[in-house]
Amino acid sequence: MSPQELQPKAGVKTYKVGTLVYTSRALITVMFWMLLGDLCLQIMEQLPTSLVPLQLRWASASDTLIGFITGSLPAVLGILLNPVIGVQSDRHRGRFGRRRPFLLGATPLVVVALIGLGFAKPVSGFLSGAFGAESPAAVEIGWIGGCMVVFVVANTYIMQVYQFLFVDVIPAEVMGKFVGCYRAVGALGAFVFHRYMFGQAETQTAWIYVISAGLYAVSFLLMIWKVKEGDYPEPPPKESFVKTTKAYFTECFSRSFYLKTYSLAFCFWSAIVPLWTFLVFFGTKPGQDMGYAPTLGLSLDAFGQARGWCSLVQVPVFFLVGPLVDRFHPLRVGMVGMLLSSATFFANFFFVHSEGSFTFWLIVNFIAQAIYMGAYLAILPRLLPRSKYGQFFTANQIFGFAGVALAPVLCGAFLEGLKDYRFIYVWCGGCTLAGFVMCLFLYRHWMRLGGDKDYRPPGFENEVPTTAPSAGH
């Protein structure tokens, strides 16, 4: 359907975003294709965080190297690419819109990189034999690293432009419902992967990659075909790089209130990314005798089931957090979620000694994380300037990616020094505890600036107070 074909009959309730006008049926159709794409995208997104660490460990990579390839490398590339992607996408004009061409161009590269990761073992074996390499494991690690670079670059375009697209095609009045479904569908995707695919990782590595890549490619190509963009005004004239850069850094990083806001992303992602990377080693077996303390020794299937249930229980939490955010303000709910996340991480450290306790306390922790993540979606729209929201949003991403870049390597070195994967919980608990402290500082500053009734973003005091429920709920 073109934007013109979305025009409804007289008297029919409509929803509008830009030049797009939807009937209820047309809107549901668009949301269906967007969420189908998200479901398969989230299944695919589990591969680099769940399987690649295992592949690297099977190739005898160190924890520090694993942390770099799976955490720091994507973060550094994200910091470099995200501002470029935002500007490219905002300014692009074409017959397929300004977002979909980037999704269409990046999708084949993601698929090729995933298939390369899936066949890393046989490909590296062939290359080692063909070139007489003394260390096949080193060749495999190099191949995985190269595929990860291709994947991260292409997937960074996918993840960023996909989020831009749903702002362009989903009306603001239903954005809250869409975001709730978006979070829930993402959790379902993670559940499907860990419950039905992760347990076969060691014996069916290639097929898991091929199936996940195929589902992602088909769903995203259907989404690009079915979801149409509207018309956009001409982009503003370009300014000099020096002037634009100076204004960006002055506005985004010169006020302590915004730095406190950004610190939440830094602390939370500094906890979560190392958890994704190293928890599997504590729950299962490190893969080699390196003198580490005993782990739980679960099978990959048992670990995958436990991890899958954690994702599934988050689904209702994402729906329930919305009304709490509306009533109590997202900053207050987020503060509670961050404190509960920290407390439950430490509870995992002290109380996990068996498969049953591992599953129970991990589920409790994932519920706490869902409380924070559900509230965090609404914090930024309520605190950042609406007139330059995209600019400040990317500044917040820089802090988040800084945490993603630094934490896996530092945590890997931390675990190598202690030789005990149980201490992953201490790392995560400490980072989220620091996040809770920053929430307290941010909350006090927000109250001084007017709080619930009169808060206006520092430097943008002419904006209308942001006291109404945000579209991020």
Question: Does some domain include residue 439?
Answer: yes
Same-domain status, 66 and 6:
yes
Judge if 260 and 175 occupy the same domain.
no
Whether residues 332 and 216 fall in one domain? no
Asked if residue 263 and residue 391 are part of one domain, the reply reads: yes
Among residues 209, 268, 283, 265, the alpha carbon closest in space to that of 46 is found at 209
Domain shared by 154 and 264, yes or no: no
Question: What does the pLDDT look like over 112-133, one tens digit per residue?
Answer: 999 999 999 999 988 888 887 7
**Domain-located, residue 235:** no
**Co-location of 319 and 391 in the same domain:** yes
Residue pair 70/142 in contact by the 8 Å Cβ criterion: no
Confidence of residue 469 (pLDDT cuts 50, 70, 90): very low
Final residue in a domain of this structure, among 195, 230, 265? 230
142/277 same-domain check = no
| Residues 403 and 443 occupy one common structural domain | yes
Residues 6 or more apart from 58 whose CB is under 8 A from it? 202, 287
- Total domains in the fold of the chain: 2
Confidence of residue 374 (pLDDT cuts 50, 70, 90): confident
Q: Identify the weakest region by mean pLDDT among 56-60, 394-398, 441-445.
A: 394-398
Average pLDDT in the chain:
85
- Last-in-domain residue among 184, 214, 230: 230
SS3 (DSSP) at 16: strand
Judge if 201 and 298 occupy the same domain: no
pTM of the full predicted structure? 0.73
In a domain, 248, yes or no: no
pLDDT tens sequence across 411-432: 988 998 888 999 999 999 999 9
Residue numbers of the domain that contains 259: 255-473
Pair 150, 293 in one domain: no
Q: CATH number of the domain at 102, please.
A: 1.20.1250.20
Specify whether 350 is located in the same domain as 207. Answer: no
Rounded Cα gap, residues 458 and 443, in angstroms: 14
Across 350-373, average pLDDT: 93
Asked if residue 111 lies in contact with residue 216, where contact means CB atoms within 8 angstroms, the answer is yes
Are residues 323 and 177 both part of a single domain? no
pLDDT in tens, 328-339: 888 999 999 999
Does residue 244 fall inside a structural domain?
A: no
